[in-house]
Structure 1
Amino acid sequence: MSTTTAIQVLTCDNPSPMTLEGTNTYLLGRPDQAEVVVVDPGPDGHKEHLHAVLESVGDRSVAEILVTHRHGDHTGAAKALSARTGAPVRGFDPDQCVAGGQGIVLPLAEGEKILAGGLSIEVLHTPGHTGDSVCLWIPEENALLTGDTVLGRGTTMVDFPDGTLTEYLQTLERLMDYAQARMLPAHGPAHEQLGPVVQRYLEHRHSRLDRVRELVAEHGQDLSPEQLAELMYAGRSPIHPHITHQIAAAQLEHLRSLGEL
């Protein structure tokens, strides 16, 4: 399915509560250009998806393979795609970089502009979901690829302690600068405007923090993440308890950073 003639999306068949319908892989490049950039090539072990990506690339060369963050459902196929195309793999985390046939490859940097496929792709470091998360701004298309920072449905998790809620809230505020942009997430459907989605995220996070404050006031400041998660979710969440404990730990750490605990 194409989002525009310059941006194509292919969804991997890896659905789950965390990946929604699956991982969205994006191909960036105008059809009259001889090269394309691939973003988030998907998980390892999905040969059909890798074949679909290569088929969509066609006769074009792959200038770069970009990953929005370190999680395997985004990076797992990167080495295989690099081996097939010779393109370097680049992420904000140097550990995600693969030279391909290009020699030394530098990690992505805040504010960097990648000129490829007739487009300008600007890197925004947007930590919170993970410490290495990035979004990719394409001004010619008025489009922002949000990775897992903002999802097409539901809300994303803060992978604490690598990601922090403090950073995540700062990132969401920053993304309001792109409120009119089309939002292209790594999971779930696209949205014509980013702003309303980010506003809902902010309201949800602050509402949750207010609930944490109420529980801390009721049960004391020595609440552990496990205790807070039980009080917050009481076994009602379909998410694994390990993740709810991470969420609770991130909430408590954020309140500590504010001097409230």
Structure 2
Amino acid sequence: MIPFVREIEFEYGRCDQVSPLIRRVIADNPGPFTYTGTGTYVVGRGTVAVIDPGPDQDGHLQALLAALDGEIVSHILVTHHHSDHSPLARPLAKVTGATIHGRRAPHLAEVSPDVMVEAGDDEGFRPDVEITDGAVFEGPGWTLRAVTTPGHTSNHVCFALAEENALFSGDHVMGWSTTVITPPDGDMGDYFASLEKVKAMGFDTLWPTHGSPVREVEPFIRAYADHRRAREAQVLAALSQGPITIKAMVPTLYAAVDPRLHAAAAMSVLAHMLLLVKQGRVACAGVAGLDSVYRLA
């Protein structure tokens, strides 16, 4: 079982000091993919970095500007291009003069319009500076380093805060829920590798964009990976009963999950299937998709 952390104390628009170097303002965009809303982080004092500005909401922009009053924003850092993370970056940069750092949104075939799998894409996201793994961002009393973590999306990147041995984990690891992996941009093989990469770095705290921090990092990430392996085993067990489609197996595999999330769950199963097909453990006729018939190889 994953030891989820779901308790959180906050008010929308309020700026909370959550650690010696970190403040957080939560946007009023709660939902099945965002939990209580997007947590925008401010690192440092005087000259600061802002991580994941969030959705393009004027109320959230005004709350951030109030929190930043009298300070200089030197960096705006974006973990990935989903619409609950990146759209406010440009309006915030316009007001503050800060530079936006991130990895540009990929151009991929759209998911079927009847499949709601995330809060939506910010397809036009273009940072001012393209991030590479290990890139360093500094201010008075704080140092952030980019940790590329593809899997949830191909352009996902986390940010390590050296002074607190903490990681702003975006949607790569969340305390309140598992992470959705949505092909073709999301990749399950990349996700497993990124989990191991983060686990090996030995952080004391993870600060997800949604929800509360994770304090017991190594066992939490291990449980996260074990959950994925268990889901993979369930998929293989379903296939052992005979050929089947993803859509047919999801209601059983995710019986305990909010039905609103079943479309997203189906995409995660597809991500598992694509990895299993790549490994030669599963086969399907034609192109692998939600309606394809799969069988054990």
Q: TM-score, normalised by structure 2?
A: 0.79
Task: Please give the per-residue CA displacement for 1:24-67, whole angstroms capped at 9, x wherever unaligned.
Answer: 100011x3xx31110111101x2222111111112111111111
Residue 225 of structure 2 corresponds to which residue in structure 1?
A: 202
CA distance in 2, matches of 1:201, 1:120: 28
Write the deviation string for residues 167-190 of structure 1: whole angstroms up to 9, x where unpaired: 111111111113442110000101
Question: Residue 96 in 1 paired to residue 125 in 2?
Answer: yes
Q: Deviations over 1:73-115 (max 9, x none)?
A: 01121111111111122212266334xxxxxx32111111111
Match of 2:260 among 239, 243, 246: 239
C-alpha distance 88-204 of structure 1, shift in aligned 2 (>3 A): same
Unaligned stretches of 5+ residues in structure 2 = 1-15, 106-123, 283-297
Secondary structure of residue in 2 paired with 1:114 = strand
Identity %: 31
* Higher share of residues assigned helix: 1
Match of 1:181?
204
Q: 2: CA distance between counterparts of 1:257 and 1:191? A: 33
Aligned with residue 36 of structure 1, among 40, 44, 48: 48
Partner of 1:79: 90
Contact kept in structure 1, 2:254 and 2:262, CA below 8 Å: no
**Which of residues 119, 122, 146 in structure 1 aligns to 2:145?**
122
Note the 1:52-63 alignment, pairs <5 A. Answer: 52-63=63-74
Specify the alignment match of 1:27 in structure 2.
Answer: 42
Output the amino acid matched with 2:47. E
* 1:193 aligns to 2:204 (yes or no): no
- Matched ranges for 1:4-15 at <5 A: 4-15=19-30
| SS of residue in 2 equivalent to 1:196 | helix
Partner in structure 1 of residue 281 of structure 2: 260
Gaps in structure 1 of 5+ consecutive residues:
99-104
* Alignment of 1:249 onto 2:239: no
Q: Secondary structure at the match of 1:79?
A: helix
Secondary structure (helix, strand or coil) at the match of 1:146 reads strand
Q: Within 2, Cα distance between the matches of 1:234 and 1:38?
A: 39
Match of 1:147 in 2: 170
What is the match of residue 290 of structure 2? Answer: none
The TM-score with structure 1 as length reference comes to 0.89
Alpha carbons 2:150, 2:156 under 8 Å: kept = yes
Whole-Å separation in 2 of the counterparts to 1:2 and 1:55: 14
8 A Cα contact 1:178 1:195, kept in partner: no
1:157 CA drift (Å): 0.6
Q: Name 2:7's counterpart in structure 1.
A: none
Distance 1:234 1:173, change over 3 A: same
* Cα separation, 2, equivalents of 1:23 and 1:138: 19
User: Structure with the greater relative contact order (CA < 8 A, sep ≥ 6): 1 or 2?
Assistant: 2
- Summarize deviations over 1:103-141 as a string: whole Å, max 9, x none: xx3211111111124311110110111111111111111
Task: Give how far 1:241 is off.
Answer: 3.9
Are the counterparts in 2 of residues 143 and 181 from structure 1 also a CA contact under 8 Å? yes
CA distance in 1, matches of 2:149, 2:239: 29
SS of residue paired to 1:96 = coil
Q: Is the 8 A contact 2:99 2:129 kept in 1?
A: no
Matched AA of 1:15:
P
Please identify runs of 4+ aligned residues in structure 1 that moved more than 6 A.
none
User: Which shows bigger deviation, 227-236 or 197-206?
Assistant: 227-236
Give aligned pairs, total: 249
Question: How big is the shift at 1:233?
Answer: 2.9
CA deviation after TM superposition for structure 1 residue 213, in Å: 0.7
Please give the alpha-carbon distance, in whole angstroms, between the structure 2 residues aligned to 1:27 and 1:62.
Answer: 9
Shift of 1:231: 4.1
